[in-house]
Structure 1
Amino acid sequence: MKRVKTALIILLLAGGISTLQAARPTITGRVEPDSIMIGDRFDVVIDVERDLVQVVEFPVYTPAPESGLEIYQSHPVDTLQRDGRKLVLRKRYTLAAFEEGDFNMGVAQALYLDKNIVDTLSTADSLRLHVGTFQIDSTSQSIYDLKPQRTLPFKYAEIAGYVWWALLGLALLAGAILLADHLLKRYGKRFRDIFQPAPPQPPHVVAIQALETLHSQKLWQSGRYKQYYSTLTDILRTYLAGRYGFGAMEMTSDEILQAVRRYELPQKSVMDLNTILRSADLVKFAKAMPDSEQNEDCYLKAFYFVEETKPKEITEEEDEEEPQQ
């Protein structure tokens, strides 16, 4: 009796272990249809029956270029059947054939993963495809050369409408040209005055406007001394370049002071320019921080430098206009 019980326990344990170990997935493959005409499409169908805990990865199907086959679409994996722990999956590839003949496409494969197992599933038989082409029976069907192009006689009626429309277009174009010429002769000066660009402003006007803009920005009041003095000296350099015609923008402070000595500038203006350039150099290169009185003084010196060195004829015109006001 004890031996019978021991045998039953062994059988039950063996059955439990066998149920825990899932069977290896099975794979089948086929070509639908397996015989086509050249240029037609066909499907490669791969079915895999696996356990629920097993993982199967289908490959990316890429036929060789010289094979005459081209992949048209790779369809998503579809679940055909689910019975308890068993699943039946299907992968479908749509291809096209452009070469005739019999093709051995090899076995269909899929990657199989189960716990620590990584293996490749393969079908038992290779996938085969027959691609036929159209056969011409030259005995019952005659083959002719291409016929040459037939030349038909020219008829004016075929283009008469186009000719009348072209003449009407030319007449309208000529009328528009004559009208434009008349308008230009009569009102041309007015049109030129409208579209003529405004003359450039004198250098001293540009400099005064730039100085006023700089004063309204309040740079040194917010601690931006370097930006304030860089802008101030750039305004003066631009004014000197436009007023006297030398490259002040590329010169150092010493070179600028040397260049202005060639012109008859008031001595006070030269001294003011020297003070502004030296103060700016100290701020830009020695990181000096002048007080508010010096900052405002440099601005006023720059303003009066422009006023005192602008062209004399402009100054005389402004003096003559003042009594009239």
Structure 2
Amino acid sequence: MAATPGLTPAQTVESEMDRDTLRTGDMFEYHVTLANRAAYDAVIYPDSASFGPDFIIRDTQTVPDNAGERRTYTLHFFGVDVDYVPEIPVRLVDGTDTLDATIPAQPFVYESRVDDAETALRPLKPIFPFFRNWLPWIIAAVILALAAAWVLYLYRERIFGQRKKPEPKPRQPKAEPFRSPLWRLRIELKRIEETHKEPVKNPVPYFTELGDAFRTYIEEVHGFPALESTTSELLTYLKSRGFDGEVIRFLRLILETADLVKFARFEPNESDCSDVMKYGSALVDRISLTDKERLEELRRKHEEEQQAKLQEEKKDDLG
């Protein structure tokens, strides 16, 4: 078939088909030839949208052709009563400039696959009976049965009568166990030792937590506000109350070292960090002896309070 020239004067863009007649479902080759391809930086060829809904691109192939370039499309034709390939655009890029070339529509002869004799009206054939499809009815019946079962489950007590619910068992109040401040002090020292393993990298929180652990113990057991008091005030209080000399000595070593680290920017070495924990262990062993009676008194007081609390809760439950 003769080539169709493009509309742009600065270049030659031609198209051709490999056949003149098409029927619905045929595949054919559509060629686009571009002359002087080297004059352009890029060429943007048409895609499926350019050919319209009646033509589907099955394959493309681009090869040099003399001084130009030839792009071959393998198209699948699905049109009915269509007798031309629509005009398609080709975009030519030269640096920052873009030139649009339009290839005119390519005509062909459309040949129907149905003979004229086949299109004549034929007499109606008798209607044959078909089996009824019972599947939708079966599905609907299953859905209704499930819905009925769900409603029956929700309202079973109203339908079959309310069942007598078992009476709740009376709550048995429990007494809180006594947790000795000395036991809590041992747990806290163990936590500090495991958290700040040797060598201690952060001495400030290490010494602060250690000193606060003993201040908390004194505050809970002896009622002195040790956490809000200075080291000097705390030691003076202990001396005035006749505390054991070893307790005061170990406590002084721990608290004064902690004050140096927190307030005087004292940088302890590994030996200092290890020694202060040893002082803490020795202090715990000492106060376990000196505060034995005081701890036992706290235990008895706690048990008496718990017994009184249980009696009040029993009265509330009964009445």
TM class by shorter-chain length?
Answer: 0.3 to 0.5
**What TM-score, normalized to structure 2?**
0.42
TM-score by length of 1: 0.41
